[in-house]
């Protein structure tokens, strides 16, 4: 993206122009304020409603820096967006106020996106320090990781669902020709944003945590072969290092993968920029870039960082950041099923028995209260437990071990939870 350093492209000047411009347009758009600006774009918050009398929604408009940014690729994935990728908002030509001639002096292209009101994962990490949070609960970390894995699925495969059903959890498609193999290419914690809490108590992946999404998709790159090739491997490394930052509250930079023709001395490379993991359980050791999750190399007295962390989560993150890309897990057959099983079965009772985390900190209510303090969001009431689910014996855990176990009983359990949640909400109002 080219930059034009003319003074008229100063964000304050553009903001002044946009305020005046939107004020003169039909009143179904209202300019609010700047959301932020970076190396290549400005982001502005708007209010929008379809017609007079409708409720106002918050959306953002993203504009490149300067009219010279003619190469600004607004949508490399066409119009494909899924639950865990920031959602595009498309307006018809006559309904888009920026299609009037006034905007042409400042920028030629723009894109409308959903507003994700609760900031980035990087900001969440910084808020933890402000609020003196020692660490995030394992169950919350598993769910954030689940969101990031789902986003990786979205970049690896075109969703195998109609466009009007994109607000579903992404699954690898069954048809190989639909695989696309995109790498995000700029996947740091401030390019991962936190959306709203969902009110669907039956969505175990988001029942006690908000949706987390990839943003800034303008620089994604498609790798030859698509599917679960190098694009997925790159995404998994950065997901792992971003998760390590969220776990340790320390910035961690990925190291990339070693190619067969890499001229670096492999042993020096491993010792200086990675750490060695011995997973045990019949698994061979390997070098990983997620070295902040492991003891300092060469120090026999070094303690395991974040001793409260679920060891299976630690292992999976280290595998995702393996120096040898061939050691990184496959989405379809390895990573996605393992993370989903942990999200579904590892409840507060599991962590009380396992001895990881803090007593009470893994409870639904404790996690919702923590999110309330950190994000300032009002989460929905926690799902009302069905008898028998408190110790991980409910329908969610049974579904993994026995996929064919009566769908009708799961529907009855879901209906009971929905009825109980509706009753609880009625009491709250």
| Binding-site sequence positions for ATP | 62
Q: Are 59 and 113 in contact (CB under 8 A)?
A: yes
> Cα separation of 15 and 23, whole Å?
12
Owner of token pair 């769908």 = 407
Residue whose C-alpha is closest to residue 208's, from 420, 363, 314: 363
CB neighbours of 20 closer than 8 A, spacing ≥ 6? none
Q: What dihedral angle (degrees, nearest 10) is formed by the CA atoms of 65, 67, 69, 71?
A: 140
Kindly write down the DSSP assignment for every residue of 350-366, as one continuous string: HHHHHT-S-TTTTSHHH
> Cα separation of 339 and 346, whole Å?
10
Residue whose C-alpha is closest to residue 35's, from 13, 59, 56: 59
> Cα separation of 43 and 35, whole Å?
5
Is the sign of the CA dihedral 119, 123, 127, 130 positive or negative? negative
The annotation places the binding site at 62
Per the structure block, which two tokens stand in for 321? 């950041």
The packing angle between helices 138-156 and 230-248, to 10°, is 160
CB neighbours of 205 closer than 8 A, spacing ≥ 6? 143, 146, 147, 150, 169, 340, 343
């Amino acid at each position: 993206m080219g930059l034009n350093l003319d003074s008229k492209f100063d964000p304050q000047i553009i903001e002044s122009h946009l305020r005046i411009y939107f004020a003169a347009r039909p009143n179904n758009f209202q300019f609010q304020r700047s959301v932020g600006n970076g190396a290549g774009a400005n982001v502005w918050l708007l209010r929008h409603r379809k017609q007079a009398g409708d409720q106002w929604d918050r959306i953002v408009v993203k504009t490149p820096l300067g009219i010279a940014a003619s190469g600004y690729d607004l949508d490399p994935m066409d119009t494909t967006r899924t639950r865990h990728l920031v959602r595009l908002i498309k307006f018809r030509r006559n309904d888009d106020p920026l299609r009037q001639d006034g905007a042409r002096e400042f920028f030629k292209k723009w894109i409308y996106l959903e507003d994700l009101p609760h900031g980035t994962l990087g900001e969440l990490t910084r808020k933890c320090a402000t609020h003196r949070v020692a660490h995030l609960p394992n169950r919350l970390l598993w769910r954030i990781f689940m969101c990031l894995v789902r986003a990786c699925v979205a970049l690896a495969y075109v969703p195998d669902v109609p466009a009007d059903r994109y607000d579903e959890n992404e699954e690898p498609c069954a048809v190989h020709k639909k695989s696309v193999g995109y790498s995000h290419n700029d996947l740091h914690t401030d390019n991962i944003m936190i959306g709203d809490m969902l009110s669907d108590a039956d969505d175990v992946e988001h029942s006690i945590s908000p949706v987390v999404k990839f943003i800034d998709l303008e620089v994604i790159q498609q790798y030859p072969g698509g599917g679960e090739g190098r694009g997925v491997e790159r995404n998994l490394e950065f997901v792992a290092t971003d998760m390590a930052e969220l776990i340790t509250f320390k910035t961690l930079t990925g190291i990339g993968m070693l190619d067969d023709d890499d001229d670096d001395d492999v042993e020096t490379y491993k010792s200086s920029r990675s750490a060695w993991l011995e997973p045990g359980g019949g698994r061979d050791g390997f070098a990983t870039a997620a070295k902040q999750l492991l003891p300092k190399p060469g120090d026999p007295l070094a303690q395991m960082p974040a001793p409260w962390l679920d060891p299976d989560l630690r292992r999976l993150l280290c595998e995702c950041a393996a120096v040898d890309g061939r050691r990184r897990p496959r989405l379809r057959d390895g990573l996605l099923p393992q993370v989903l099983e942990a999200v579904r079965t590892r409840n507060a009772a599991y962590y009380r028995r396992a001895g990881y985390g803090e007593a009470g900190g893994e409870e639904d209510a404790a996690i919702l209260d923590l999110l309330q303090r950190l994000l300032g969001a009002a989460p929905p009431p926690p799902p009302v437990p069905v008898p028998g689910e408190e110790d991980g014996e409910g329908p969610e855990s049974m579904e993994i071990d026995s996929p064919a176990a009566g769908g009708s009983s799961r529907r009855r359990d879901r209906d009971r939870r929905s009825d109980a949640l509706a009753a609880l909400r009625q009491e709250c109002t």
